[in-house]
Structure 1
Amino acid sequence: MTDMVLCGDFNCPYSYLARGRIDALSAVGVHVDWRAVEHDPHLLPTGRRLDQDDHLRLKQELSEVTDLLLPGEVMPWELPGLIPNTEAAVVGDAEAYGAGVADDVRRLLFAAYWVDGADIGHPEVLRARLAGPILRGRSTSDPLRESGYAVSASRGPITTSAWLRIRAWRDGWTRLGTKAVPTLVEDGRPVVGAGALHRLADLISERSAPIDPDLPDPARYPKPRPRAWW
């Protein structure tokens, strides 16, 4: 099995389904390296309330994604009220990647938006929701290690390594020339959208991977350390 990379964004329903399939494959030892990219960077920092055209487009996309579901897979059907700018979410994911807790943070970000309808473009929303896994991570940066704070007030990264990671992810995705999410890269060849989801489905079938594997709560906090006494 060759190394695979998937570029996706948190406000994309196709990427939502791809995230679930990556988790299923991970449960049987197939690693797909998720890389978050902001596929619509021209959105206002505060995002955009859904208008009639947005409602129609998202309903159509959700309908298309639903047609691709495998037995046991589900998609949320209640449309969020906002299309968020995902810059801050990408930052949180990049910091989590460096801290070794990216899988949990990815699940939390998708659930926050698609299930709870939260504004994942707001730094304070992310700080509250991502603190558990960030505190469990292995970052040596004080804001992450001590407070679980992975996104600055200006929606930027805390660490230089996360800033470099975000730039590398975006540059790699841009060089592919697809301009679409999700983009799955296998053996250097990109496959986009439904094609990427079909390929992940094929791998799930080949490996008999469990749909919706039983995973621990991604928001859990680290266990408290016992206090010394004498």
Structure 2
Amino acid sequence: MQQNAPWALITGASGEIGQAIASCLAEVGVPLYLHYHQAESKLDSLLHKCHSLGVPSCKLQADLRDPQQIAVMFEAMPIAPLLIVNNASVDHVGLFSDVSVDMFDEMINLNVRSSFLVSQAALPAMLRERYGRIVNISSIWGMTGGSCEVLYSLSKGAINTFTKALAKELAPNGITVNAVAPGAIEGGMMQKFSSEELAMIAEEIPANRLGRPEEVAAVVRFLLTREASYVTGQIISPNGGWYT
């Protein structure tokens, strides 16, 4: 285990990519705060793995659409995290003309505002230490846009710009801010597609397959290291060559 490793907070740790990131970090000894909203049971195997590896871990419940719950979540942490992975997110597939104001507000509150507020809550400790890592999980659609995913694309495009702007502001303080924008990744949001549709998507990807959650996690893990200190304001997209 790393000596005196800083704690990491992973939001949405119960999802496939969140679980993969947490597992990847546990393997290198990073103490973990595992956030969830409703799917608490999905963290059981992660907590067991952390325990078996001797890695400190703690689960935290919060509805990130509620700013007060974000504040309470940070107050519950005995040690302030210096590593933040803003992974909590929801998708939306449908016609632009069918998007309601409520749907818009729901998407922006969870996909954009929560990342803003979580990062803001984590910042005081990072400034004191003059060290920190923030990784925002974006999407390929935040880079190029997706038909029938206009609202989701909008939210992830906002995350990309947020990443770039915050990186410039925090760089003098030894804090890096980057985004990982996955392409088509097995499980998670891709489960809404049929096997035939998934095969058609894979044919469009030069790598001829969907990505795996652990391949996304490997990129996140690097960006959280001290060795990644000169990488900031970047949008890194593991997508098998689908979009370059």
TM-score (norm 2): 0.27
TM-score (norm 1): 0.29
- The structure showing larger relative contact order (alpha-carbon pairs under 8 Å, at least 6 residues apart) is 1
